[in-house]
Amino acid sequence: MPQSSLYVLPPPATPCLAIDGSEQFFPVRRIYCVGRNYAEHAREMGADPSREAPFFFMKPGDAVVADGARLAYPGQTQDLHYEAELVVAIGGSGENLSAEQAKALVFGYAVGLDMTRRDLQAQAKKGGKPWDMAKGFDRSAPCSAIVPAARIGHPSAGRIQLHQNGELRQDADIADLIWSVPELLANLSSFVRLEPGDLVFTGTPAGVGPCVAGDALVASVDGVGKVSVQIVER
């Protein structure tokens, strides 16, 4: 890498997340997300919940937001939705991996919110266009501190919930994932090389819905943690 004095602009700061129980941080490289990975959510979105091959979309790394953030209601939407998700933090590199090889790359786990401009997503779907502006907008990826797998292992079951202003909206178990974490990572590694710093949002259960300025959102996964955000006016 060139010295910073050789850049025509100051290099951007590296987005990062706290590591639970540590003073160190996890640098975020890329954010991958998988769509419709819980059967009931697939049904509520009008899709077939069979085990078709998983599909992925992305958010920019700097869309990540730490726990406790205040999120300004984004522009260009009248239908902002929450989606609670288990998040996987990658600590190694590899491509064309088996499920077991992919599992070995996992550094830890977190809880995330895939914030979505649902009206823009619907327009994109109808027109056969990309979802980028529906999913990859600024501050669209709130995420809790990362809990190392060395401490908690690799959770394959545990309640995942979202509360909106104290009311339960999403309530499922990560055991209900259509594609397990190792399977998802192995499949993703056939398309791109996984690298340290990557985050993988593993899909959301049924119960997604709209939020407005003033709402408090709390997403949680048993044994992993929780992330809380406040939606505020722009």
Q: Could you tell me the CATH number of the domain that includes residue 223?
A: 3.90.850.10
Q: Report residue 120: phi and psi, to 5°.
A: -70, -35
Give the single-character DSSP code of 61.
Answer: G
Burial of residue 115 (number of CB atoms within 10 Å: 0-12, 13-18, 19+): buried
Scanning the chain, the segments in alpha helix (DSSP H) are: 39-44, 99-103, 118-127, 132-135, 149-152, 181-188
CB atoms closer than 10 angstroms to residue 109 = 28
Segments forming the whole domain that contains residue 111: 15-232
Per-residue model confidence (pLDDT) at position 14 = 96
Per-residue model confidence (pLDDT) at position 209 = 97
Q: How many CA atoms lie within 13 A of 105 on its CB side?
A: 30
Residue ranges of the chain with pLDDT lower than 50? none
Per-residue model confidence (pLDDT) at position 48 = 67
- Give the integer Cα–Cα distance in Å for 150 and 147: 9
Give the single-character DSSP code of 33.
Answer: E
Per-residue model confidence (pLDDT) at position 231 = 98
In a domain, 86, yes or no: yes
In a domain, 6, yes or no: no
In a domain, 27, yes or no: yes
Per-residue model confidence (pLDDT) at position 43 = 72
Nearest to 16 by CA among 8, 7, 6, 26: 26
- Give the integer Cα–Cα distance in Å for 175 and 208: 18
Q: Are 56 and 190 in contact (CB under 8 A)?
A: no
Q: Are 187 and 140 in contact (CB under 8 A)?
A: no
SS3 label, residue 231: strand
In a domain, 83, yes or no: yes
Nearest to 109 by CA among 141, 162, 67, 152: 152
In a domain, 108, yes or no: yes
Per-residue model confidence (pLDDT) at position 198 = 98
- Give the integer Cα–Cα distance in Å for 55 and 128: 15
Considering its fold, how many domains does the chain have in total? 1
Q: How many residues does the chain have?
A: 234
Q: Are 77 and 212 in contact (CB under 8 A)?
A: no
Per-residue model confidence (pLDDT) at position 52 = 77
Per-residue model confidence (pLDDT) at position 157 = 97
In a domain, 206, yes or no: yes
In a domain, 9, yes or no: no
pLDDT in tens, 189-200: 999 999 999 999
In a domain, 3, yes or no: no
